[in-house]
Amino acid sequence: MTSTVYTTYFGGLSDLEADADVLAVVRHPRDFVWNVTERNVPALAPSENLLTAYKRVETAAENDDQPLPAEIAWNSVDFERRYRRRLRQHVGAQRAMSKLRERLRDGYDIALVCWEKNPQWCHRRILADVLVDPLDSVETVHRPDPVVPEHDAALTRFGGGRA
């Protein structure tokens, strides 16, 4: 029996055609989250410290007009390594993943939902990978597909001078 783990952001839920258990995996749900998901699983969200560090660097990069502020923040705070460590070491995360793996083994589909549109810079992509790694016959579908935008190719960046 094949199960699927879907990942998407709240704005992309309307495009999700699957009959899946829809789970928010966010630290700070807004009121509407309870209307569009079955429940929130904060144990699978990044830690408060990691989120704060990421948002601070991303905001600074945006304020400095840097291309790809999300990528800068992701790399600067070593997001992936720190989040994977949390999933391995946090008892609540281990319990939640165990329950979700049981659902997947029983043939249910799961949708993991959070705020970030691009899964390339989002914890739900990593969570899906860690969740399905020990399982057979489970596929992962990211919506939208992870995209790494091209760096700013403005003429001022080519020669170091003005366009």
> What tens digit of pLDDT does each residue of 64-98 get?
999 999 999 999 999 999 999 999 999 999 999 99
Task: Please provide residue 20's backbone torsions phi and psi, each rounded to the nearest 5 degrees.
Answer: -125, 160
- The pLDDT value given to residue 158: 39
- Give yes or no for a contact between 67 and 50, defined as CB atoms under 8 angstroms apart: no
